Structure 1
């Protein structure tokens, strides 16, 4: 498995480098995903050690949690019109996307995760745990992410090529404790019996530390390696998959990306027309792109980044926390209906 993991990461690293040169959004996630995916479809025996994958998930959780300030989330009460609009938008994405992807022939559960309004990594992690088809979920979210971020970047076209992953922070010897902190947070999540402990445990610790004024700035190299492992791992899941099936599902991903952008434009226009909230701010808060990318574009447009980020964080938390119990409830109802038959 070690040899296969190293080969996969080498291919993924090449993809990340090429995507970075092309200024692709989330280059070190999407670049490895697409190149390892292509190699897998071409017959390469790709794969990532599960322990390495779990470690990357923990590091990702720490990265996301570090962006959450619980005190700033209190402002959501003042922005309730756009928060309510965001909830309605989430419903439109889930219902419309689930209907669209169900037309492709995939299972209802897989169609639901393909329709997730944002949180590509969260959707993939949850779907993997619940037995959905992660391959199609990953590729449809990748298409949606590129389309959404590119659309948002049109608002700040002079900076469209300047979206970066990290904050320009180098790796120092003193930062190596993070390699132990992330797994420790995952262990804490298991002790607390959190759902997806390797993800929610680090998120909880990172948010608590950030709220107490002891936030962690992850070095760019660790972020790159984290996204490299995650992207390569998802791409490796396409081994043995035919091109015809991939192209057929990809069409639905393009349609869903367009649907997400159009519905966000309409919803943001409605909120801006009825309130004093700026159209561009509401649009960035609604568009299901990456939190970092939306924050960078908000700063470029001189929009309050706390407003934008808080909406995305709330949506992420709602998706992560509410999806497992809702799916469990749906499964129990379906099983009960089958027994009555």
Structure 2
């Protein structure tokens, strides 16, 4: 009987989370904000979580979200994506340079201005790969609670800032193309099955964000291979945005207001610095390649793959370009994070040795 009660509470909490995300998304969409379903949902669930409401998205449902995002990104890939590969080396080089600048600048700022220990400061400064960052923190490098707050603030602020920037900044952005045909239920089921299988393989191979990337790889391969040309049904795309908003917002569950306020200022400033660096790099790349500024920005952005991919869909950009750059970003971070953690550990040992 208690197990049934817990199960009922969990179901009600999940339904409440989705309802709040949908309500927030609906309001943002009504106000005419780009990517309103995603941005509004993320903000609404964040506020609810910080207010103490039980915002829950179980692991099983999170995997459903990841598969839907991957499917949507694959279905949104531009048919001429492969022809644009020649211009990618410039933006990929900019991506590598900006990662070094972001980690060095924000890590230094958090250490010197906010007096965080080097482990906490530099692990908080990495733009992405949160699961890997937290895995390193769990070994005793830095303060895990402060790191997760700063990192989640980064993801939330980017999800909110990008659509608002698309309204107020003088940059090119596009309305998502209106599809003339949509995938049938049978096509959706077959595509979903292939995407799930690919996601599981990627996860088994320990690929970062494996479920999202596996699903996208399968959906992209099927589209470029000519197995389908139709778009995802609009209600399913909206549901994907609502679920993604709930996923982002639910990451604030368990963080007390005291903890949040203690790390929020540093997190906001670090995010502002990161956004400024990415924006300057995107403007530079934009002078050299013929692509919309917003697409370049999302490709270079330090946001989570699922959030930036969903924004790319909502704003009508080429998701192949965005996803490829995020894959490279995660790959670069896979090498950089442990290297910096080892460096921080050695510096801490050196400092302790000099005091003894």
TM over 0.5: yes
Q: Equivalent residue for 1:323? A: 333
Of 62, 68, 78, the residue aligned with 1:59 is 68
Distance 1:169 1:321, change over 3 A: farther
Structure-2 change in CA distance of 1:67 and 1:172 (3 Å): closer
For residues 296 and 45 of structure 1, do their structure 2 counterparts lie closer, same or farther at Cα, with a shift above 3 Å needed?
A: closer
Deviation at 1:179, TM superposition (A): 4.7
Distance apart, 1:264 and its partner CA: 5.0
State yes or no: 1:22 paired with 2:64. no
Matched with 1:72 is: 81
- Aligned residue for 1:207? 220
Find the counterpart in structure 2 of residue 147 from structure 1.
161
Q: Give how far 1:261 is off.
A: 5.3
The equivalent of 1:224 in structure 2 is 238
Cα distance in 1 between the residues matched to 2:238 and 2:82:
28
- Aligned in 2, Cα 1:266/1:126: closer, same or farther, shift over 3 Å? same
1:23 deviation in Å? Answer: 2.7
- 1:95, CA displacement in angstroms? 3.2
1:188 aligns with 2:201: yes
Determine whether 1:33 maps to 2:33. Answer: no
Deviation at 1:48, TM superposition (A): 1.4
Q: Give 1:176-325 correspondences, 5 Å limit.
A: 176-177=188-189, 178-192=191-205, 194-215=207-228, 217-243=231-257, 245-247=259-261, 249-252=263-266, 254-256=268-270, 258-260=272-274, 262-264=276-278, 266-267=280-281, 277=289, 281=292, 284-286=295-297, 288=301, 290=308, 311-325=321-335
Asked if 2 retains the 8 angstrom alpha-carbon contact of 1:144 and 1:254, the reply is: no
Residues 1:253 and 1:334: Cα distance change in structure 2 (over 3 Å): closer
Q: Kindly indicate whether residue 62 of structure 2 is the aligned counterpart of residue 50 of structure 1.
A: no
Q: Contact 1:29–1:227 (CA<8 Å) still a contact in 2?
A: yes
Structure 1 residues 34-183: aligned runs within 5 Å: 34-68=43-77, 72-73=81-82, 75-78=84-87, 80-100=89-109, 105=116, 108=119, 112=123, 115-116=126-127, 123=129, 133-154=147-168, 163=175, 172-177=184-189, 178-183=191-196
Q: CA deviation at 1:282?
A: 5.5
Matched residue, 1:10: 19
Contact 1:152 1:284 in 2 (8 A): no
Q: Please tell me whether Structure 1 or Structure 2 has the larger radius of gyration of its CA atoms.
A: 2
Alpha-carbon contact 1:12-1:36 (below 8 Å) kept? yes
Contact 2:34 2:166 in 1 (8 A): no
Change (3 A) 1:134 1:182: farther
Distance change >3 Å, CA 286–CA 146, structure 1 → 2 = same
How many residue pairs match? The answer is: 323
Q: CA RMSD in A?
A: 4.2
Paired with 2:74 and 2:202, the residues of 1 have a C-alpha distance of 13
C-alpha deviations, 1:122-181, integer Å up to 9, x for none?
A: 755665776665454233223234334433444668x98x85598587675335415544
Aligned counterparts of 1:196 and 1:293: Cα–Cα separation in 2: 17
- In structure 2, the CA distance between the partners of 1:244 and 1:13, relative to structure 1 (3 Å rule), is same
- TM-aligned CA distance change 1:64 to 1:101, over 3 Å: farther
Q: Deviations over 1:212-253 (max 9, x none)?
A: 133562222222222322321332232343445445645445
In 2 relative to 1, CA 336–85 (structure 1 residues): closer, same or farther, beyond 3 Å? Answer: closer
Maintained 8 Å contact 1:170/1:221: no
Asked whether the equivalents of residues 202 and 213 of structure 2 are also in contact (C-alpha less than 8 Å), the reply is yes
Could you tell me which residue of structure 1 aligns to residue 7 of structure 2?
A: none
TM-score by length of 1: 0.72
For the 8 Å contact 2:195–2:215, the answer to whether it is kept is: yes
